Amino acid sequence: MLSYINIKNIALIEELSLELNDGLNILTGETGVGKSIIINSINFGLGGRVNKDLIRQGCEYGYVELMFQVKESMICELETLFGIKIENNELLVSRKLLDGGKNICKINGETTTVSMLQGMTDYLIDVHGQHEHQSLMNVKRHIDILDQFCEKETAGVKEKLVVYCDKYIEIKKELSLLIGNDIDRERKIDLLKYQIDEITAASLLENEEEELNEKRKILASSEKLMKGIGKVYKILYDEPSVIDQAGKCISELEYLSSIDEKINEFHIMLKEAYIQMEEVASNVRDYAENIEHSPEATNKVERRLDTIYNLKRKYGSSIAQILLYNERIQNELDFIAGSEENIAKLKQEQIKIEEEIRELCEQISSKRKQSAAKIKEKIEQILNDLEMKNVRFEIDFNRKQNFDKNGYDEVEFLFSANKGEKVKSLDKIASGGEMSRVMLAIKTVLADTDNIETLIFDEIDTGISGYTAQKVAEKMALLSIAHQLICITHLPQIAAMADYHYKINKETENDKTVTNIEVLNKEDTINELARLITGAETTEITIKHAEEMKEMASKVKLSLA
């Protein structure tokens, strides 16, 4: 619901803050005090069209801030659709219009566009009046509104339709790949074959690149290796040979150990070391003989690494990824190469799925039409109660050429207020009062299923009085049980139903005219009702009448609850 409004520098409003509540919020005031300015300000804050004349004279900008308390059931949908994080169920939107015509829009502190602001708030609030900001004016939303009414009946069928549509889309993609343009198809085959041949010819091995890099490192230092290994070998075997000297020591220790057995331990240790030195010398000799130090060997490694780098640049960041890519394109080539058989199989599957989809679309359409007949009857009855005696309300169905996940129906609400007139689109209705009553009727019928929580009605009392006014008031009271209603009215019958009553005043301060608003207590509410009843100065009789009207309204609301 809309819980808070802050308006700055808009027309006659210098600064106005208003806390709103759930239920029925009524705004009243004398003609010309600026009631329409508040509605225009809200429309502006919701992303509606305005011009810079809206800015209060002498100010550099106009600003509107709206705080919404979002229902738990709506949070996930809004976050998914618009990428805005909603915490503590609070959504704060603001819009500033600069004197030069520039807009600055924000949603929860993040700068956004006017269209995104408008798109998001469409899910939260409807404003019905002279300057509509409402989902019902958008023909594309009519089918969604109808589906809210028959959601329970169609939910299961729609879930199946989504699954089948996804399968159908996937089959069409595969067929497009197979059938397509013959030239494009041959080009695709040639490209795949070239890539497969290039990768296959390289005969890549999993750890080959690491081994080649290590070999390149050794080849680059082959001269250092040869020199160092030669030096080691010379020390081990050339005069004075370390090994020969060790042999002499072993012989001496062997002799001495016959005198003292303790020396035998040294003899054994040195003998083991002697054997290891001989093994090292042998291995060093073999290593020296196998060191590659020719330019040919280096060039061979570099050429192989170049081949690998070239393939990595085209097909993957590693040999493993290249081999995986090769496997995938081989499967793709096999699929395209066997196209005739695959095409026949896919077409047969496509026909079968199309039949399933059309059957599901038929079921959904049938359920929609059943619901539409019930809605039409209820809406026309409510409009009759609202003194629109010759009204006709129709829900028109057209079949789209192609189906989608919502079926194949196109739905539009049509309306005629006068006998002998053809029904026409809602957006062709000229009277704001007629429009508001149509919206009130639709919202009353859809009250239990409509996800839009806040409804604003302006001029809903245009051209009505007496019995009709009472019926409109009762419908609004009923609607306010499930929705937050904000209504500007001149009728005491509607105002008496208020859960919260606000009065709009216009005053002159420092030679400037300003509009402000106040929340009325019980006594002030009675006085305001009395003013609405008489249209002039209140008397004891009108006060008494106002008290009776408020008491009767309380009884009506109690019966509705």
Interval 88-138: pLDDT, tens? 999 999 999 988 788 899 999 899 999 899 889 988 998 876 544 456 677
Rounded Cα distance between 549 and 401, Å, is: 56
By the 8 A CB rule, do 460 and 494 touch?
yes
pLDDT (tens digit per residue) in 469-486: 888 898 889 889 889 999
* Residue 553 belongs to a domain: yes
Total domains, the chain: 1
Contacts of 284 (CB under 8 A, 6+ apart): 229, 232, 233, 236
Q: Is residue 457 part of a domain?
A: yes
pLDDT at 196 over 90: yes
Q: In which element (H, E) is residue 351 found?
A: helix 339-385
Q: What is the mean pLDDT of residues 182-190?
A: 78
Mean pLDDT of 52-63: 86
Q: Which range scores top for mean pLDDT: 29-38, 71-80, 412-421, 542-551?
A: 542-551
Domain presence at residue 489:
yes
Greater pLDDT, 243 or 71? 71
Cα 93 from Cα 225, distance rounded (Å): 73
For residue 559, pLDDT over 80 is answered with yes
DSSP string, 160-193: HHHHHHHHHHHHHHHHHHHSS-HHHHHHHHHHHH
Say if CB 137 and CB 427 are below 8 A apart.
Answer: yes
Tokens of 434: 């007629």
User: Roughly what angle, to the nearest 10 degrees, separates helices 432-445 and 339-385?
Assistant: 110
**Is 329 strand, coil or helix?**
helix
Does residue 539 register a pLDDT over 50? yes
Query: Of the given ranges (13-27, 70-84, 201-215, 457-471), which has the lowest mean pLDDT?
Result: 457-471
Q: What is the mean pLDDT of residues 371-386?
A: 88
Q: What's the whole-model pTM score?
A: 0.60
Question: Could you tell me if residue 273 is inside a domain?
Answer: no
By CB atoms closer than 10 A (0-12, 13-18, 19+), residue 68 is: buried
pLDDT above 70 for 26: yes
Q: Which span out of 150-154, 161-165, 557-561 was modeled with the highest average pLDDT?
A: 161-165
How many other C-beta atoms lie within 10 A of the C-beta of residue 474?
A: 20
Report yes or no on 161 lying in a domain. no
In a domain, 25, yes or no: yes
520 neighbors 51 (Cβ within 8 angstroms): no
Q: Is residue 512 part of a domain?
A: yes
pLDDT at 84 over 90: no
Signed CA dihedral, 172, 178, 184, 189: sign only: positive
Mean pLDDT: which of 129-143, 154-168, 268-282 is highest? Answer: 154-168
Kindly state whether residue 379 falls inside one of the protein's structural domains. no
**Mean pLDDT across 186-213:** 87
- The residue range of the domain holding 466 is 2-124+452-560
Model pLDDT, residue 131: 45
| Spatial distance between the Cα atoms of 128 and 29, rounded to a whole number of angstroms | 19
CATH for 460 = 3.40.50.300
pLDDT for residue 306 is more than 90: no
